[in-house]
Amino acid sequence: MAVVFSGVQPSGTLTLGNYLGAIKHFVDYQEEEESYFCIVNQHAITVPQDPKQLRDNTRSLAALYLAVGLDPKKTTLFVQSEVAEHAQLAWVMQTISYVGELERMTQFKEKAQNRGESIPAGLLTYPPLMAADMLLYKTTDVPVGDDQKQHIEITRDLAGRFNHRFGELFPLPKMRTPKVGARIMSLQDPTKKMSKSDANQNATIRLLDSEKDILKKLKRAQTDSDNTIRFDKENKPGVSNLLAIHSLCTGKTTEQLEQEYMGKGYGHLKVDTAEAVIEILRPIQARYNELISTSELDLILDEGAAKAREVASRTMKEVEHAMGLRR
């Protein structure tokens, strides 16, 4: 039986990259027998967060999960810190992690840069917490964007290491990335991924951006001077990024789009891509605005946490038995 788990950090307004690379696909995975979509606020605090902002972002992400079509009748939506077993299993995973393998993680190296003596230890131990997220539910499938590859690999290593030392308990989770859109690029530097934390506002489309801003940002997107519309990530990263976004929003393949735009200029492609993005975000934003101030949201998260806790506490008992932590 497939068990699906994925998480998103409530660390700012979500981007079109988060949506096209991950959240859009969650809706398909909720049809599996068992699925969990988590708001990973304990990952968010590995870098400093303003408490009020974190609380608001958590709510906002819950509303977005529902607005894109996740249905609490089919899936379990919950907040990581409300299920204590995540931190418990994370500790166990830390005890079987090696400092060397954690220090080699690209994300750690990037985030630790320029922090001198003040690198939060939580940045280093981020992967064992992430492994705990998945393993608590004996997850088999993890829908994520391309940037999570190393995290899934280390999770598989840790699960394997645990099984080897203490007996077979965990399946090794498989990463599931979309064929197109697993890495949506920055609109200003298409060799970098689109990121929540980019200081350049024009680089990132946010899911709650106004129609005017979406159009403006896409019109300013970096392309190249060759003026042919072709999907070629290597040589034409900017144009290929626009084609990928267009394709994901309209359902047309990149080959179809290449045909459609043959002989046309980049201006056309940019405006049409903006329209496609606006169309796809319009109903999501409308539903989000309806949900954000309702108490329904809190009820859904309460029920989600209770459901998740049942499974998580069962796994945690098994782990503790296997390791000799229970009398």
Secondary structure (DSSP) of 146-198: GGGHHHHHHHHHHHHHHHHHH-S----PEEE--SS-SSPBPSS-TTSB--TT-
Active-site option among 138, 193, 236, 270:
193
Helix (H) or strand (E) holding 4, with range, is strand 3-8
Helix (H) or strand (E) holding 248, with range, is helix 237-250
9 in a labelled binding site: yes
Q: How many residues bind ligand TYM (CB under 6 A)?
A: 25
Q: Chain centroid to CA 78: how far?
A: 15
Binding ligand TYM (rule: CB under 6 A), the pick from 12, 72, 128, 145 is: 145
Binding ligand TYM (rule: CB under 6 A), the pick from 62, 135, 142, 243 is: 142
For the record, the structure tokens of 43 come out as 């990952």
Per the annotation, the verdict on 111 as an active-site residue is yes
Active-site option among 74, 196, 219, 307:
196
81 in a labelled binding site: no
Per the annotation, the verdict on 196 as an active-site residue is yes
Are the CB atoms for 14 and 44 separated by under 8 Å? no
Binding of residue 40 to ligand TYM (CB under 6 A): yes
Binding of residue 237 to ligand TYM (CB under 6 A): no
Residues of span 189-208 touching ligand TYM by CB under 6 A: 193-194
Are the CB atoms for 244 and 146 separated by under 8 Å? no
Binding of residue 276 to ligand TYM (CB under 6 A): no
Binding ligand TYM (rule: CB under 6 A), the pick from 61, 68, 184, 311 is: 184
Binding of residue 127 to ligand TYM (CB under 6 A): no
Distance CA 86, CA 132 (A): 6
- Surface-to-core class of residue 31, CB atoms within 10 Å of its CB (0-12 exposed, 13-18 middle, 19+ buried): exposed
Residues of span 148-177 touching ligand TYM by CB under 6 A: 148, 151
Per the annotation, the verdict on 236 as an active-site residue is no
Binding of residue 35 to ligand TYM (CB under 6 A): no
Catalytic residues: 111, 193, 196
Residues forming the annotated binding site?
Answer: 9-11, 17-18, 133, 145-147, 184, 193-197
Residues forming the annotated binding site for ATP?
Answer: 9-11, 17-18, 145-147, 184, 193-197
Provide the binding-site residues for ligand TYM, judged by CB under 6 A: 5-9, 17-18, 21-22, 40, 43, 130, 133-134, 142, 144-145, 147-148, 151, 182-184, 193-194
